[in-house]
Amino acid sequence: MSGFSVPAVVLEQIGSLPTLQTVTVTPPARGDVLVRMVASGICHTDISYMRDARVTPVVLGHEGAGIVEQVGEGVTHVQPGDHVVINWQAKCNQCRHCLTGRSDLCENIQTTAEPRVFRGQSPLAVMLNAGTFCNLAVVPAGGAVPIRKDIPLTKAAMLGCAVATGVGAALYTAHIAPGDDVVIIGAGGIGLNIVQGARIANAGQIIVIDLNQARLDLAQQYGATHIFSGQQQDLVSEVRKLTSGRGVDHVFEAVGTPSLMLTGIEMLARGGSLILVGAAARDSVLPFHPRRFMSQQQQIIGCIYGNIRPQVDLPLFADWYAEGKLRLNEMHTASVRLEEVPEVFSSLDKDRGIRPIIEFEA
C-alpha cells in the first residue's frame, strides 16, 4: 500500500484500551484534503468510544487543527499551507435540510469516497470522519475549514468540538435570549463553553453545577453568576430560590447522566427547555413524568455540534478568540505527545484538567 507511514492511536475493539500503531495514509483523491495535524484535543467523546464505538478498529480523534499538506482535484477553498480546523460534520448541501437552510440537521454527512487509512492492506475506520489522533488526516473538502493564521493551532483545535458544541448549544440550540436564566450541569470543556455562549447571549443568571471546585472557579471567570457543588442535596430548591420560585429558562446537561437530566427537568420554568449535550451511554433510558412536562409546555432538545454552520461559525469563533471575546487559554491545561495518549486513556482517574491537547511533532 503506497502512501505515508505515520503513527496513529487505534481502538482495536470495544472495551479495550487504544494503542499506538503504525498506519498508512494514502494521498487525497478528488474532493479530499490532506491535513498535517498540529494539535488535537482529547474529548470525552473520544474516551466514550471505548464503550460506544460503532465500528472497530478505528483511528480515534475528532477535535483538531492543522496545516493543509495536499489537496485533491476539485478542491479550491483551501491550498497547501492554509491553517484549518477539522470539521467532523461536512455537509452534503443537497438533502432537504441543507436546501431549506438547516444544514445543521444534514441527513448525509460527508466522508471520503474511499478509505484513506490502512493497516497493511486492510482499511481502518476513522472516528467521526476525522481520525485526528494521527499525524496526517484525510478529510472530505468540507471537513477542512480555513481560519486565520495568527492564533495558535493548539487553541484552534478546541474550536472543532468544545467551543463549537458549547457556544453553539447556547446560541443556536437553545437560542438564549437576553435576560434568560440558565443552568449548566457539568463544567468540562463543553460546559465552560456553554457558559461563554450564555455570557455572549447576555443571559441573566448563569448557574453552574460541578463536582470539581477548580472548574467551578474557572466557570466564574468565564461568566457564571452562581456556582454550586454537585454534592449538594438541595440543588433544585437553590435554583428555585435564585429565580423567585419560577425555575430557569434553559438547563444544559453536559455530563450524559440520566439522573442529572431528571434533576434538570425539576429546575425548569414553565416553557423551559432541557438541552441534552452530554453523550449518554447508548443503552441509557430517561424516565420522566410526561403529563407534568406537557402541562408545563416544556421541551427536551438534543444537541450535536451546537447546531453550528461550520464554514461560517468556526472562522467566527477564531475571530472571537483573537478579539478576546472567547477565552480558551485557561482550558488548555495539559499537553501530551501522541505516544502518551494510550496512557491517558488507561489512567482516567488522574486529573489532567479541562482539555489535554495532543501536540504533534513538526
> Does residue 313 lie within any of the structural domains?
no
Q: Are strands 144-146 and 83-86 parallel, antiparallel or unpaired?
A: antiparallel
| Cell numbers found for residue 20 | 499506538
Q: What is the mean pLDDT of the chain?
A: 96
Percent of the chain with pLDDT over 70: 100
CATH code of the domain containing 252: 3.40.50.720
> Does residue 139 lie within any of the structural domains?
yes
Residue 82 confidence (pLDDT) above 80: yes
Query: How many helices, marked H, and strands, marked E, lie in the chain?
Result: 11, 19
Q: Domain check: are 154 and 13 in the same one?
A: yes
pLDDT-derived band at 353 (thresholds 50, 70, 90) equals confident
Residue 278 confidence (pLDDT) above 90: yes
Number of domains into which the chain is organized: 2
CATH code of the domain containing 81: 3.90.180.10
DSSP state letters, 301-320: EE-SGGG--HHHHHHHHHHH
> Does residue 268 lie within any of the structural domains?
yes
What is the Cα–Cα distance from 272 to 246, expressed in whole angstroms? 10
pLDDT-derived band at 349 (thresholds 50, 70, 90) equals confident
Angle between helices 235-242 and 258-267 (to 10 degrees): 30
Q: Domain check: are 156 and 269 in the same one?
A: no
Over residues 269-275, the mean pLDDT reads 98
Q: Domain check: are 278 and 339 in the same one?
A: no
Residue 1 confidence (pLDDT) above 70: no
> Does residue 321 lie within any of the structural domains?
no
Where helices occur in the chain by DSSP H, the ranges are 44-52, 96-99, 153-156, 162-168, 189-200, 213-222, 235-242, 258-267, 290-295, 310-323, 341-346
Q: Domain check: are 257 and 141 in the same one?
A: no
Q: Domain check: are 134 and 212 in the same one?
A: no
> Does residue 315 lie within any of the structural domains?
no
Percent of the chain with pLDDT over 90: 96
Q: How many residues would you count in the chain? A: 362
Q: Domain check: are 145 and 181 in the same one?
A: no
Q: Domain check: are 109 and 181 in the same one?
A: no
What's the pLDDT at 350? 79
Q: Domain check: are 152 and 170 in the same one?
A: no
**Residue among 93, 94, 84 at smallest CA distance from 139:** 84
Q: Domain check: are 9 and 154 in the same one?
A: yes
Alpha-carbon dihedral sign for residues 326, 332, 337, 339: negative
Identity (one letter) of the amino acid at 289?
A: H
Q: 282-331: per-residue pLDDT in tens?
A: 999 999 999 999 999 999 999 999 999 999 999 999 999 999 999 999 99
Strand, coil or helix: what is 147? coil
Residue 2 confidence (pLDDT) above 90: no
Q: Domain check: are 53 and 194 in the same one?
A: no
| Cell numbers found for residue 6 | 505515520
Q: Domain check: are 145 and 173 in the same one?
A: no
Strand, coil or helix: what is 260? helix
Residue 362 confidence (pLDDT) above 80: no
Over residues 168-174, the mean pLDDT reads 98
Q: Domain check: are 140 and 38 in the same one?
A: yes
> Does residue 344 lie within any of the structural domains?
yes
Q: Are strands 299-302 and 83-86 parallel, antiparallel or unpaired?
A: unpaired
| Cell numbers found for residue 353 | 484538567
pLDDT-derived band at 124 (thresholds 50, 70, 90) equals very high
Q: Are strands 144-146 and 226-229 parallel, antiparallel or unpaired?
A: unpaired
Taking only Cα atoms into account, the Rg of the chain, rounded to an integer number of angstroms, comes to: 20
- Which domain range does residue 281 map to? 165-304
Over residues 89-93, the mean pLDDT reads 97
Residue 78 confidence (pLDDT) above 70: yes
Beta strands per DSSP E along 72-225: 83-86, 117-119, 122-123, 125-126, 136-140, 144-146, 182-185, 206-210
Strand partners, 253: 185, 276
Strand, coil or helix: what is 202? coil
What's the pLDDT at 347? 87
| Cell numbers found for residue 141 | 473538502
Over residues 139-168, the mean pLDDT reads 98
Residue 256 · residue 278 · CB < 8 Å = yes
Q: 198-215: per-residue pLDDT in tens?
A: 999 999 999 999 999 999
> Does residue 280 lie within any of the structural domains?
yes
Residue carrying C-alpha cell 493548539: 154
